[in-house]
Amino acid sequence: MNLKSLLSGLALAGVVLVAGIPAMAQDYPTSTIQLIVPYAPGGSGDITARLIVEHLSPALGQPVVVENRPGANGSIGSDFVAKAAPDGYTLEVVVQSHVLGKALMPSLTYDPVGDFEPISLMSRTQLGVVVPASLPVNTLEELVAYIKAHPGELAFASAGHGSNAHVFTEWFLDTADLDMIHVPYAGSAAAHPDLISGVATMAFDTLASVQGLVADGRLKLLAVAGAERHPEFLDVPTIAESGYPDYDASSWTMLLAPAGTPEAIVDRLNKEVVAILSRDDVKERLASLGATVVASSPAEAKATVETEVQRYTDLIERLGLAQ
Amino acid sequence: MELLDNVLLGLETAMTLQNLFYCLVGCLLGTLIGVLPGVGPTTTIALLLPITFGLDPSTSLIMLAGIYYGAQYGGSTTAILVNLPGEASSAVTAIDGYKMAQKGKAGSALAIAAIGSFIAGTIATVVVVVFSPPLSELALRFGPPEYFSLIVLGLILSVTLANGSVLKALAMIILGLLFGLVGADIYTGIPRFTFGEPSLMDGINFVAFATGLYGISEILSNLEQDPSRKSKVSKPKGLLPTWPEMKRSIGPILRGTGLGSVMGVLPGGGATLSSFAAYTLEKKLSKHPEEFGEGAIEGVAGPESANNAGAQTSFIPMLTLGIPGNGVMAIMIGALMIQGIQPGPSVMTTNPALFWGLIASMWIGNVMLLLLNLPLVGIWVKLLSTPYNFMFPAIILFSAIGIFSTNMNGLDLGLVAMFGLLGYVLIKLDCEPAPFLMGFILGPLLEENLRRAMMFSRGNPATFFASPLSAGLLAVAAIALILMILPAVRNQRQKVFTE
């Protein structure tokens, strides 16, 4: 064996080696993909995941199976995904509270930023400020004045300690310099009876969940928390418009893979998911749940996670909301 | 007459071939998952949600509702046959139902459960039609202090679930309350008694708790005897209840229906409480209270009827206010929203066919379930004659699969084993599981509402006496406690005097 053939052999091996990686990604997927939903069945993350899977399986030519691993605010399922092999066969759908986890629970066994490879944002959900119909206020300004007139006497309800509704409300109270008591419930709907009867004075809740009660005149919707007005409630201003320009809070759902998943696989998944999200029937289904489709690139999704982790970690530390 | 028109519209919607078919599918599925230990209606309905996207809204709701009340029928089957209550409400049925089965009267117990559920379901459907608006206002009158007082009353009444000493029953309730503390504190998020195990953050899994405490401990104590014997169960004596048994049951069925219809409206555990309340009521009213716990048919008829009536009227807050009373309702609201229908009072006017169709389908579903369950009684009773050394591994296997598949969590299986052992020790100590279970279920609700009421009142306990509803419930609880303790004190004094 002379030097030349050895060199060409090495070169060939190099070509095969280099070609091998994209070949693997090109073949992807060759078996069933597990999509972890770290919440109980029936929530917005779960329904969104199932809506996407309906179209993702045929697009990838392999079954995508949704598996619920609920518990501890999504941290059990996320921990499982963070430790899974980064081969594209274990994926996860999370909601916005994913970025709150580490700040609220420093004992968390994974890093919401470093342990995951975001694939795409999928949808955004608006929360709104609702008050009982009996409360003598009709705008956000009047509500702020009313709360200021009763410092520390009024209570706001939330979907639970550390839920995004809780953290968003605390952010608003901090921005507007208000003092209220926090009364958490097991989920937002559990708070509705006390909110309707006026025992609780205010809550941040998803528009989809309060829409019926607002239409029926049992609750008043004073403002929405996101950057833009909601198409269904064009006459309701945003919090930012009402004198707090830096305030912009909304919930979202995102598709993630474990950190270290090959870029080619992430890009392939991103391409398929973005295509699914542009379908009219998917848009309609998500709209009926009060969500707006927001497809994004993996980089944009990563930037969203990083910005929000930074913002809410600062807020949670400053307000002392962590355990 | 408007009401009649509405009912006719409902029947018209529910009686289409497609809706009848999906109603039957729902009832069948519900019965099946009710019988399978561990798998509950919430999970099933959530998993079937995507299938309903393609269906008409009324059809999908009719099917999902069928699963829900079908599971109420099926859940009592395992409670009666093998002492495995899949849900909190059927834990009460297990007390006397399982004893009846051991005495060879499984047929009567199952049949009376089905008949009672049917009568309750029929009456509760009428209640939903006629009394929806006032009952939904009642649900809104229940704030944190009222819930707290209701739960205190429930806890005190649960002493009557036990046959033995009042002291042991109280001890069991408190033990249950303590186990209920496990998990994240909902007001601060701080983990309590979780030993660093994240899967305990949401508390101890109820199905693992009940399966261990009832099913596994019963198997352990059965295995003390020779496992090769055929079965501990006496030979079945007929599949249908006798006429005297029917006569004894009719009162409990009607009273249970009344209790269940009213309490089912309360979101968050009303339907569960109603089956416990019905048992207590029957035991108090009975001329033979000593038969309770030994296989009294009233102890099956009352709670089963209350449970089913409550399951039916728990639709009221969802249909009239858009407020889900339990996990199943929350998912159904999701199902409606995905179809573009906003649940709430407007449904009645904007989608009358859906609203009345669902109500009519409830009654049709109840007829189907009765027709489905009565013939099944024979099959179930035959299953009981399986030799025990085949039966008990099968019970353990199916329970384990069911419980594991719900959360994919190995710890739940460890909990089943642990509560099985604990239950066995409790049997040896003559401590009964029902008050233990009651404390476990009500403990977290008690704490949640106590603390919530105190937060709203800024720490002033007068809030519990401020509303007549809350004060009244507390007064009844106090009277019940005194009545319970007095005989014990009197006996004690007599003992002292005779000595």
Q: Does some domain include residue A299?
A: yes
Q: Does some domain include residue A6?
A: no
The pLDDT value given to residue A24 = 59
The pLDDT value given to residue A62 = 92
For residues A44 and A193, membership in a common domain is answered with no
The pLDDT value given to residue A20 = 43
The pLDDT value given to residue A203 = 96
CB contact, 8 Å: B136 with chain A? no
* pLDDT average, residue stretch A132-141: 96
Measure A145 CA to nearest chain B CA, in Å: 20
Q: Does some domain include residue A64?
A: yes
> Domain boundary residue among A176, A208, A224?
A224
Work out the pLDDT band at B493, boundaries 50, 70, 90.
low
Q: Rounded CA gap, A44 and B315, in Å? A: 22
* pLDDT average, residue stretch A46-61: 90
The pLDDT value given to residue B350 = 79
**If you write DSSP's letter for every residue of A183-213 in order, what string do you get?**
EE-SSHHHHHHHHHTTSS-EEEEEHHHHHHH
Picking from B144, B186, B324, the nearest residue to A184 by CB comes out as B186
CB contact, 8 Å: A214 with chain B? no
* pLDDT average, residue stretch B449-458: 93
Looking at the predicted structure, is the pLDDT value of residue A154 above 90?
Answer: yes
Work out the pLDDT band at A22, boundaries 50, 70, 90.
very low
* pLDDT average, residue stretch A24-37: 85
Looking at the predicted structure, is the pLDDT value of residue B86 above 80?
Answer: no
Q: Comparing C-alpha atoms, which of B225, B286, B210 is closest to residue B102?
A: B225
Chain B: residue whose CA lies nearest to A219: B321
Token reading at B322: 């858009």
Buried b (16+ CB within 10 A) or exposed e, B348-383: beebebbbbbbbbbbbbbbebbbebbbebbeebbee
The pLDDT value given to residue A17 = 47
Using one digit for the tens of pLDDT, what is the confidence trace for B259-282?
A: 999 888 887 667 778 888 899 889
Percent of chain B, pLDDT > 90? Answer: 30
Token reading at B472: 């009244």
Break chain B into its structural domains and give their ranges: 2-498
Measure A73 CA to nearest chain B CA, in Å: 9
CB contact, 8 Å: B284 with chain A? no
Q: Phi and psi (nearest 5°) for B324?
A: -75, 130
Using one digit for the tens of pLDDT, what is the confidence trace for B403-427?
A: 888 778 889 999 999 999 999 999 9
- What interface predicted TM-score (ipTM) does this complex get? 0.82
For residues A306 and A284, membership in a common domain is answered with yes
Q: Rounded CA gap, A207 and A198, in Å? A: 19
For residues A55 and A199, membership in a common domain is answered with no
The pLDDT value given to residue A232 = 86
The pLDDT value given to residue A19 = 44
Looking at the predicted structure, is the pLDDT value of residue B174 above 90?
Answer: yes
The pLDDT value given to residue B37 = 72
Looking at the predicted structure, is the pLDDT value of residue B128 above 60?
Answer: yes
Domain count, chain A: 2
CA–CA distances in Å: residue B82 to residues B40, B173, B233, B236: 17, 24, 10, 15
Greater confidence, A59 or A44? Answer: A59
Looking at the predicted structure, is the pLDDT value of residue A16 above 50?
Answer: no
User: CATH number for the domain including A62?
Assistant: 3.40.190.150
Q: Rounded CA gap, B105 and B237, in Å? A: 6
* pLDDT average, residue stretch B16-25: 92
For residues A200 and A148, membership in a common domain is answered with yes
Residue partners of B271: CB distance under 8 A and separation at least 6: B89, B260, B263, B264, B307, B310, B311, B314, B325, B326
Put simply, the chain A residues between 31 and 50 with a CB less than 8 A from any chain B CB are 40-42, 46-47, 50
The pLDDT value given to residue B499 = 46
Using one digit for the tens of pLDDT, what is the confidence trace for B181-213?
A: 999 888 888 889 988 888 888 889 888 898 899
Q: Does some domain include residue A154?
A: yes
**Residue A190 burial by Cβ neighbours in a 10 Å radius (0-12, 13-18, 19+):** buried
The pLDDT value given to residue B267 = 75
Greater confidence, A231 or A43? Answer: A231
For residues A117 and A204, membership in a common domain is answered with no
Put simply, the chain B residues between 48 and 67 with a CB less than 8 A from any chain A CB are 49-50, 53
**H-helix or E-strand spanning residue A221:** strand A219-224
For residues A103 and A139, membership in a common domain is answered with no
- Residue A123 sits at the vertex; the CA angle it makes with A121 and A124, to the nearest 5 degrees, is 110
Greater confidence, A233 or B160? Answer: A233
What sign does the CA torsion over A206, A209, A214, A220 have?
Answer: negative
Using one digit for the tens of pLDDT, what is the confidence trace for B3-20?
A: 788 888 888 888 899 999
Domain containing A145: what range?
A: 127-224
Picking from B49, B184, B321, the nearest residue to A50 by CB comes out as B49
Looking at the predicted structure, is the pLDDT value of residue A180 above 90?
Answer: yes
Looking at the predicted structure, is the pLDDT value of residue B241 above 80?
Answer: yes
Q: Rounded CA gap, B96 and B99, in Å? A: 5
Q: Comparing C-alpha atoms, which of A53, A14, A235, A227 is closest to residue A138?
A: A235
Looking at the predicted structure, is the pLDDT value of residue A195 above 90?
Answer: yes
Using one digit for the tens of pLDDT, what is the confidence trace for B379-408?
A: 888 888 888 888 889 889 988 888 888 778
Looking at the predicted structure, is the pLDDT value of residue B490 above 80?
Answer: no
Percent of chain A, pLDDT > 70? Answer: 92
Using one digit for the tens of pLDDT, what is the confidence trace for B317-346?
A: 888 877 787 778 878 887 887 777 777 777
Looking at the predicted structure, is the pLDDT value of residue B73 above 90?
Answer: no
The pLDDT value given to residue B488 = 66
Residues of B with Cβ-Cβ distance to A212 under 8 angstroms: 322, 342-346
Q: Comparing C-alpha atoms, which of A205, A162, A192 is closest to residue A72?
A: A162
Cβ contact A289–B338 (<8 Å): yes
User: CATH number for the domain including A139?
Assistant: 3.40.190.10
The pLDDT value given to residue A4 = 54
Chain B: residue whose CA lies nearest to A107: B196
- Tell me the average pLDDT of chain B: 85
10 Å Cβ neighbour count for B8? 12
For residues A102 and A163, membership in a common domain is answered with no
